[in-house]
Amino acid sequence: MTMPKRDTYTPESLLAVAVEVFNERGYDGTSMEHLSRAAGISKSSIYHHVKGKEELLRLAISRALDGLFGILQEPEARDGRAVERLEHVTRRTTEVLMTELPYVTLLLRVRGNTDTERWAMARRRDFDHEVAELVKQAVADGDLRPDVDARLATRLLFGMINSIVEWYRPSRGGAATADEVADAVVRTAFAGLRI
Amino acid sequence: MTMPKRDTYTPESLLAVAVEVFNERGYDGTSMEHLSRAAGISKSSIYHHVKGKEELLRLAISRALDGLFGILQEPEARDGRAVERLEHVTRRTTEVLMTELPYVTLLLRVRGNTDTERWAMARRRDFDHEVAELVKQAVADGDLRPDVDARLATRLLFGMINSIVEWYRPSRGGAATADEVADAVVRTAFAGLRI
DNA sequence: TCTTGTCCCGACCGATCGTTCGGTTACTCT
DNA sequence: AGAGTAACCGAACGATCGGTCGGGACAAGA
């Protein structure tokens, strides 16, 4: 365990800066020049910490995926009635999305132009499929309405959750807290908007 | 009214090709070389039909926005109880999103890197605000649950609707039709997933 | 004080970016 | 047949892309 002798960048702290810029301008719309200006070091110095632009993307995406798949390992997501497990996954996914906001945002926006991006998309699909199984089971248990296709319902549910990255900004003191948003998501998704 | 003498590109038919590529690779990830290959004509020939890459984006976004704002002009969106108008806008937005899928997809993905993109984002916000007013009114009427903030509810609703562009593909014969999807969206959003 | 290794820099690389230009082909009209 | 023009092309433009390179500044251990 070595403490940094002067305050300098680590791959992690550089990643935090890079991810912010990626999310503002889009990954393809961000040049290494943009990153260097945002980080306050020269373009070539970035290569001292990371191998290149795509590694920054890979690191960010890995962090997001680790957070999401971690949810599926939690006891509340593995034991009990399917509909309860689904509610837990819904709430926790919303929470992870907000605590790891910039990383998950990046994950949700990859288009599949490189191997790294295609791998990210495949892992995301894996996660979605696991939740879709949960929905299917809950329908079979008679806990979810059977008149909406399970696959479609899963997609709409994730659509609602994932859209949080489009507007949630943790800084806003007056805005909703993570808990309040998670409550609203679970309530809206399961009970609906109407009275 | 002049008919094309040989089958050649018009700005509109070229736009259709370009938008497909934009959606596959992302706007910034698409080069004019990519477009020329997809269109089957040379890179320089594209400039005979349109002024440049950004004009293609502007044309596509305009088409999407026209479709969306057209909904707000429909009689069912202007007269009657707020909650009924909201349901109509929800259904019609879902439908327009699916019929104009590639154009709306592009609209939903702009990041604000150019004037054109910032204009698109501003217009989108205008649309969202008009719907948010509808939600607010429906809550005041006592037709929507008051325990979820109107602004938040609007965002979740649009999140659900807009996420359709991530998976809906009109070609699939076996998949859900536009009507079925619109039904499911309205039902899920207003009545919830649970029985 | 001298070496070692971390951290960073300016200069530069070949490739690719969006765009322009001069010219050729192919069709329509007279 | 000849003129006019819409559609297209290859070659090249300056700018910028992601990435490399040799070396300088600085701190820690000897």
Predicted pLDDT at B170: 87
The pLDDT tens digits for A60-70 are 999 999 999 99
- Residue A2: the pLDDT is 39
Q: What is the pLDDT of residue A3?
A: 43
Residue of chain B whose alpha carbon sits nearest to that of A94:
B156
Amino acid B1: pLDDT: 39
Place of tokens 């996660």: A127
Specify the pLDDT at position B112. Answer: 94
pLDDT at B178 over 90: no
Q: If you average pLDDT over every residue of chain B, what do you get?
A: 93
Give the chain A residue nearest B114 (alpha carbons): A25
Is there a contact between A149 and B176 if contact means CB atoms under 8 Å apart? yes
How far, in Å, CA of B23 to CA of B14, rounded?
14
pLDDT computed for residue B4 by the predictor: 42
Decide if pLDDT at B102 tops 70: yes
B51 in Cβ contact with B76 (< 8 Å): no
Please name the nucleotide lying closest to A45, CA to C1': C8
Q: Please write the tens of the pLDDT for every residue from A116-144.
A: 999 999 999 999 999 999 999 999 999 99
CB-CB neighbours of B4 under 10 Å: 9
**Residue B44 CA: distances (Å) to CA of A191, B4, B19, B47:** 55, 21, 18, 6
Angle subtended by helix axes A82-99 and A150-162, to nearest 10: 30
Q: Provide residues of A within 8 Å CB-CB of chain B.
A: 24-26, 28-29, 83, 109, 111, 113, 142-145, 147-149, 152-153, 155-164, 166-167, 176, 181, 184-185, 187-195
Distance A7 CA to C10 C1' (A): 23
pLDDT of B171 strictly over 50: yes
Whole-angstrom Cα distance, residue A161 to residue B163? Answer: 10
Interface of B with A (CB under 8 A): 24-26, 28-29, 83, 109, 111, 113, 142-145, 147-149, 152-153, 155-164, 166-167, 176, 181, 184-185, 187-195
How far from B152 is each of A8, B168, B192, CA to CA, in Å? 40, 25, 16
- Alpha-carbon gap, residue A43 to A37, rounded angstroms: 8
Predicted confidence pLDDT, tens digits, chain A (195 residues): 434 445 789 999 999 999 999 999 999 999 999 999 999 999 999 999 999 999 999 999 999 999 999 999 999 999 999 999 999 999 999 999 999 999 999 999 999 999 999 999 999 999 999 999 999 999 999 999 998 899 999 999 999 999 999 999 987 665 678 889 999 999 999 987 776
Domains of chain A, each with CATH number or no CATH: 62-191 (1.10.357.10)
Tell me how far CA of residue A22 lies from CA of A28, A38, A86, B113, B137, in angstroms.
Answer: 8, 11, 31, 12, 38
Question: Any idea which nucleotide's C1' is nearest the CA of B48?
Answer: D7
Answer whether residue B93 shows pLDDT above 80: yes
